Amino acid sequence: MSVTDLVFAVLAAGALTLALRAVVRMIGAAGGSDCEDKGAG
Amino acid sequence: MSSAVLGQVLVFLSLGLTAFVAALAIQGAVHRDSRKVAAAGFGLQAVAWLGVATSLVLMHAIVTHDFGIKYVAQYTDTGLPLLYLITAFWGGEKGALAFWVLSLSILGAFLARSRRDDSSPYTGWLLATTALTLLFFDVLMVFASSPFETFLASGGPADGNGLNPLLQNPLMAVHPPPQLLGFIAYTIPFAFAVATLATGRKDGAWVVDARRWSLFAWTMLTAGLLVGELWSYLELGWGGYWGWDPVENAALLPWLTGTAMLHTFSVEYRTGLLRRWNVSLACLTFLLTIFATFLTRSQLIQSLHSFSGSLLTPFFLWYQVVLLAVSVGLIAWRWRVLRSESRIESFMSREALVVATAMLLLMAVFVVMWGTLLPKFSESPAVLAVVDRALAGIAGLTGSVHVPLTGAVQVGPEWFNKAVGPIGIAVLAMTALGPLFSLRQAPGQAARGTVWRTLFSGVLLALGILVALVLVRGAALAEISGMAWSKASWLYLKGLSWPGVYGLAAVTFALQVLAVSCLDWVRSVRARRVAKGESPWTAAGVLFRENPRRYGGHLVHVGVALSFLGFAGAAGKLEKKDIVLAPLEATTLGGRNVLFLGTRDRWDGTRNYAALEAHFQVSKRGEPVSDDVVERVRNEASGAIGVDGASPPFLKVRFSSEAAAREYLVTQTARVTLASSLALVGADQSRRQVRLVVRRPEVLRVLPETLRRFSDAAKIVVAGAGGDRLSLKGGGRGDPTMTVTATEDGVFQAFLAGWSSKGEQAVLAARPSSVDKTVVEVVAAGGGLAMSPEVRFYVKSENPTTEVEIEPGLLTDLYLAATPAKGAGEVNLTAMDHPMMSSLWAGALVILLAGSALLLPTRRRKSRIVSAVKDPGSEVVA
């Protein structure tokens, strides 16, 4: 594995980790979504 | 896992997640479920990170030359420098699509982040619209145009095709990203408009955010267009910067509506007026970005921008239909809700002027679209018949003669300049008058006086410029023709064509815009200096920070005015020459002598191209050659008895004998025309014979006709020796060697001396005198400006590229482009005096700097936004 491969692998892994973190937060935010917030908007 | 498989997996994941996010956001908006809206926001951020990862995988495949991926093999090769490898990411259609998805997902994530404190249905529709747009491009990437598609039968070629040479230019490396980003960013104002329409929100708070996104999109699109113009000017070699090419026109359309939108947003932000205008313009601008992309990719109309046949055409066509239906449907549904609570009260108010300007810009959109699409539509006999009948009707009304149309209508740059020019000038006039009017009120007596004074000064200015032009040009015409000055001036005035009239009007209004904008700055700076004792620069900086909308707007208008001065210069183009020149022939251009010295080849092993350089010397007509230059030639010409510089650009080098002159001529011509391209491989002193071989055989690979050029050059040297003193063999078809034999020792040594000269030479070209055989006429180095435009022939491309040479000046650019002609050593030269180009580029720079500065957040702006959201229309114009 060359330095270029390593750099790209680290960057892509970082991006995927952050994507996963955002997905977890999405699931967390959506949890119990039957609670309606009629007042907003 | 290979890059291709990983990339495909990520693209699929992205598609699935985007669809889920869109569904979540719609559900959240419809059911007023704030958790789902908040979740959709996080989902968009996850999509953005997936987009980043996908792009990294594609970029990795490009920089590591993974030719198993079709896209990488098609647009790159192993010899491509890193800059152009990066450029290749968006250099092809599939990569551009990946760039679109990446950029929109990142903008969507920023949008979601900026709305994290608001999970209302309004935000839900905002995120849903962004996600659905993203979904469309994801679908294209998965089902129609994947950048990760691989070769099925093999592991791919050993080397790729390389990037189109036209794109191998630093300007082209930076042109597509801002252009695409401009298109992409107009999704967000569209999303705000859709959210406003979907929720039926009555306040004008949406324009606060939408305007900032619009400003970002407008600045990016402007940057893209301007860099494209600069690239066209420097690279394409046709002498201009805007050719009204269909793809250029398509990109101009959203820019025009985007410009209108920035101004109408400003009015709603401050007064609550123009709501219908704003939602309509936001939808139209986005629709036009999709239309521009469709036109670029579909090859519906022949264009300079050559893209290969695309599978995306039907997708884009249907997407436009859906967008149009949704936009019209939503606007019609909410038409009553969108009615402003008040009306425009005076035609002499700023908002009335903004509406007039928006109408003019929409008219320009219609004209440009009509001119772009008419050639295609008129290919249909039915459409042609309708157009013909309409033209016949117009001819009947105006009393002119109607010539029936026989084939598809051709619309060229002249038509566009004629049709769009007056609209542009009218917009410029509005720009000059706009700052003089106030919002929501008719001007008072003092303000009315200012308006009349401005109009009157404009008329005076136009008359003054016209009189100055007549005086200067009339006098020049009188001098050349020998006519009386009054008659020559009248002739000039009568001959003033439409570009001249447009140019005059553009200069007048541009100067007025400059005056109005600068005077406001100067007055305000002076007031601050008096009140606070600040320095002019500090005062100007504080003013900009305190009221960026007003003073930043002035700066953008100054940039526009400077650009219009550049357009006016192009309209009144002084001189253009397209001419074939043989070596040592000259042409004149605007008081300058452009002398063609000859061609020379060059090989670039890094980028694999052969360049044919055409060398010119440009000097002022009749200007004597300086004593220093004459002295250098005298010192170098051993045996010369005199050097005469009285007939520039040539110097006459006189010798005591015909033989001495001949030997000097042989040495100089051999050195200038042969030594740089041909190498001596063996000199046989006893037989007075020497062999010459091509120094860079790679050149012959891409430019086989170069051999004939070498042979022609050698014949000139042989002819210079006179009689049969030198003879030439070889150099025929495909033979890279030549043998030169001399009958006299002196001539042979003189020929060899052509290769022995070292360092910078005093002579650039030489020829025998036609009247005196003891005289050799030479062109001296330093006797004028050296310019060398070139044509590049790439190993991996059939299309050569033109590299023009420009000598920039404050008032005029001298522009030279040369391509090889049929005759021996001849070139086709395009030489132009391009007035006011510096003003055009300076204006462009000012617009971009001001646009970027306006995007920076300031403390005061934040507080203004908060107050505007609380009470839209509360702000009063300063």
pLDDT in tens, A8-39: 999 999 999 999 999 999 999 988 544 444 44
- What is the spatial distance between Cα B70 and Cα B662, in angstroms, rounded to a whole number? 61
CB half-sphere exposure, B88, CA atoms < 13 A: 31
Does residue B444 surpass a pLDDT of 80? no
Q: Which of B166-170, B400-404, B799-803 has the lowest mean pLDDT?
A: B400-404
- What is the spatial distance between Cα B177 and Cα B860, in angstroms, rounded to a whole number? 31
Would you list which residues of chain B are within 8 Å, Cβ to Cβ, of chain A? Answer: 17, 21, 24, 31-36, 38-43, 45-47, 49-50, 52-53, 56-57, 59-60, 63-64, 118-123, 199
- What is the spatial distance between Cα B600 and Cα B438, in angstroms, rounded to a whole number? 63
What pLDDT is stored for residue B854 in this prediction? 87
The answer to whether the Cβ–Cβ distance between B36 and A33 falls below 8 Å is yes
What pLDDT is stored for residue B454 in this prediction? 78
Q: B676 or B264, which is more confident?
A: B264
pLDDT confidence bin for B398, thresholds 50/70/90: confident
User: Is the Cα dihedral B292, B296, B301, B302 positive or negative?
Assistant: positive
Q: DSSP label at B670?
A: I
pLDDT confidence bin for B872, thresholds 50/70/90: very low
What pLDDT is stored for residue B843 in this prediction? 94
- What is the spatial distance between Cα B320 and Cα B283, in angstroms, rounded to a whole number? 11
pLDDT confidence bin for B622, thresholds 50/70/90: confident
Q: Give me B662's structure tokens.
A: 């001949």
Does residue B13 surpass a pLDDT of 90? yes
- What is the spatial distance between Cα B147 and Cα B155, in angstroms, rounded to a whole number? 16
Does residue B209 surpass a pLDDT of 50? yes
Please answer whether residues B180 and B101 qualify as being in contact, where contact means their C-beta atoms are separated by less than 8 angstroms.
no
What pLDDT is stored for residue B873 in this prediction? 38
Q: B877 or B295, which is more confident?
A: B295
What pLDDT is stored for residue B306 in this prediction? 47
> Which residues of chain A are within 8 Å of residue B49 when distances are taken between CB atoms?
15-16, 18-19, 22
What pLDDT is stored for residue B243 in this prediction? 85
- CA nearest to A2 within chain B: B64
What pLDDT is stored for residue B733 in this prediction? 66
Q: Give me B336's structure tokens.
A: 């009553």
**What number is the average pLDDT over the span B647-657?**
89
Please answer whether residues B688 and B742 qualify as being in contact, where contact means their C-beta atoms are separated by less than 8 angstroms.
yes
**What number is the average pLDDT over the span B685-709?**
84
**What number is the average pLDDT over the span B16-30?**
96
Span B462-476, pLDDT tens digits: 888 888 878 887 787
How is chain B split into domains, by residue range? Answer: 3-301+312-346, 643-756
Q: Which of B222-231, B341-350, B683-692 has the lowest mean pLDDT?
A: B341-350
CA distance B21 to chain A (A): 9
- CA nearest to A41 within chain B: B120
What pLDDT is stored for residue A11 in this prediction? 96
> Which residues of chain B are within 8 Å of residue A1 when distances are taken between CB atoms?
none
What pLDDT is stored for residue B30 in this prediction? 95
Does residue A41 surpass a pLDDT of 50? no
What pLDDT is stored for residue B433 in this prediction? 85
Highest mean pLDDT among B2-6, B69-73, B823-827: B69-73
- Residue A19 has its nearest CB partner, among B24, B46, B63, at B46
Instruction: Tally C-beta pairs within 8 A across A and B.
Output: 90
Span B280-314, pLDDT tens digits: 999 999 999 999 988 877 665 555 454 455 677 88
Span B597-615, pLDDT tens digits: 999 888 988 878 899 999 9
User: Is the Cα dihedral B232, B234, B235, B240 positive or negative?
Assistant: positive
Cα Rg of chain A, angstroms: 18
- Residue A22 has its nearest CB partner, among B38, B42, B53, at B42
Q: In what order do the strands lie in the sheet with B650-655?
A: B640-644, B650-655, B775-780, B763-768
What pLDDT is stored for residue B390 in this prediction? 83
- CA nearest to B7 within chain A: A12
* Omega before B381 within 30 of 0, i.e. cis: no
Q: Which of B209-213, B234-238, B552-556 has the lowest mean pLDDT?
A: B234-238
Q: Which of B81-90, B242-251, B394-403, B772-781 has the lowest mean pLDDT?
A: B394-403
What pLDDT is stored for residue B305 in this prediction? 53
Would you list which residues of chain A are within 8 Å, Cβ to Cβ, of chain B? Answer: 2, 4-5, 8, 11-12, 15-16, 18-20, 22-23, 25-27, 29-38, 40-41
What pLDDT is stored for residue B870 in this prediction? 46
- Residue B52 has its nearest CB partner, among A4, A15, A37, at A15
> Which residues of chain B are within 8 Å of residue A35 when distances are taken between CB atoms?
33, 35
- Residue B49 has its nearest CB partner, among A18, A33, A38, at A18
- Residue B57 has its nearest CB partner, among A2, A12, A33, at A12
The answer to whether the Cβ–Cβ distance between B32 and A41 falls below 8 Å is yes
Closest by Cα among B813, B704, B692, B700 to B741: B692
User: Is the Cα dihedral B399, B404, B409, B414 positive or negative?
Assistant: negative
Q: How high is the ipTM of this complex? A: 0.85
Closest by Cα among B682, B655, B680 to B670: B680
- Residue A40 has its nearest CB partner, among B39, B47, B121, at B121
Span B543-590, pLDDT tens digits: 888 888 888 888 999 999 999 998 888 776 667 889 999 999 999 887
- Residue B53 has its nearest CB partner, among A4, A12, A35, at A12
The answer to whether the Cβ–Cβ distance between B56 and A11 falls below 8 Å is yes
3-class SS of residue B585: coil
Span B475-494, pLDDT tens digits: 877 877 778 888 888 887 77
Cα Rg of chain B, angstroms: 33
**What number is the average pLDDT over the span B261-284?**
90
Does residue B431 surpass a pLDDT of 80? yes
CA distances to B126, B135, B190, B329, B863 from B323, in Å: 15, 14, 11, 10, 35
Does residue B878 surpass a pLDDT of 60? no
3-class SS of residue B114: helix
> Which residues of chain B are within 8 Å of residue A12 when distances are taken between CB atoms?
53, 56-57, 60
- CA nearest to B34 within chain A: A37
**What number is the average pLDDT over the span B150-175?**
82
**What number is the average pLDDT over the span B849-854?**
89
**What number is the average pLDDT over the span B505-509?**
89
The answer to whether the Cβ–Cβ distance between B35 and A29 falls below 8 Å is yes
Span B783-800, pLDDT tens digits: 889 999 999 998 888 788
- CA nearest to B52 within chain A: A15
Other beta carbons within 10 Å of B545: 16
The answer to whether the Cβ–Cβ distance between A31 and B24 falls below 8 Å is no
User: Is the Cα dihedral B461, B464, B466, B469 positive or negative?
Assistant: negative
- Residue A25 has its nearest CB partner, among B21, B42, B123, at B42
- CA nearest to B121 within chain A: A41
Q: Which of B29-43, B481-495, B582-596, B625-639 has the lowest mean pLDDT?
A: B481-495
> Which residues of chain B are within 8 Å of residue A8 when distances are taken between CB atoms?
56-57, 59-60
- CA nearest to A24 within chain B: B42
pLDDT confidence bin for B226, thresholds 50/70/90: very high
Please answer whether residues B115 and B208 qualify as being in contact, where contact means their C-beta atoms are separated by less than 8 angstroms.
no
Residue located via tokens 């020497």: B690
What pLDDT is stored for residue B379 in this prediction? 76
Residue % of chain B over a pLDDT of 70: 94
- CA nearest to B21 within chain A: A26
Question: Residue B752: what residue type?
Answer: L
The answer to whether the Cβ–Cβ distance between B56 and A19 falls below 8 Å is no
Does residue B442 surpass a pLDDT of 70? no
The answer to whether the Cβ–Cβ distance between B42 and A5 falls below 8 Å is no
**What number is the average pLDDT over the span B147-172?**
83
The answer to whether the Cβ–Cβ distance between B50 and A16 falls below 8 Å is yes
The answer to whether the Cβ–Cβ distance between A23 and B31 falls below 8 Å is no
What pLDDT is stored for residue B302 in this prediction? 54
Please answer whether residues B641 and B656 qualify as being in contact, where contact means their C-beta atoms are separated by less than 8 angstroms.
yes
Residue B833's beta-bridge partner residues? B575, B814
Question: Residue B552: what residue type?
Answer: G
What length is written for chain B?
Answer: 878
CA angle B397, B402, B407 (to 5 degrees): 130
Q: Which of B105-119, B220-234, B846-860 has the lowest mean pLDDT?
A: B846-860
- CA nearest to A32 within chain B: B35
3-class SS of residue B593: strand
Does residue B722 surpass a pLDDT of 60? yes
Mean pLDDT score across all residues of chain B: 86
- What is the spatial distance between Cα B146 and Cα B144, in angstroms, rounded to a whole number? 6
User: Is the Cα dihedral B254, B257, B259, B262 positive or negative?
Assistant: negative
What pLDDT is stored for residue B414 in this prediction? 86
What pLDDT is stored for residue A36 in this prediction? 45
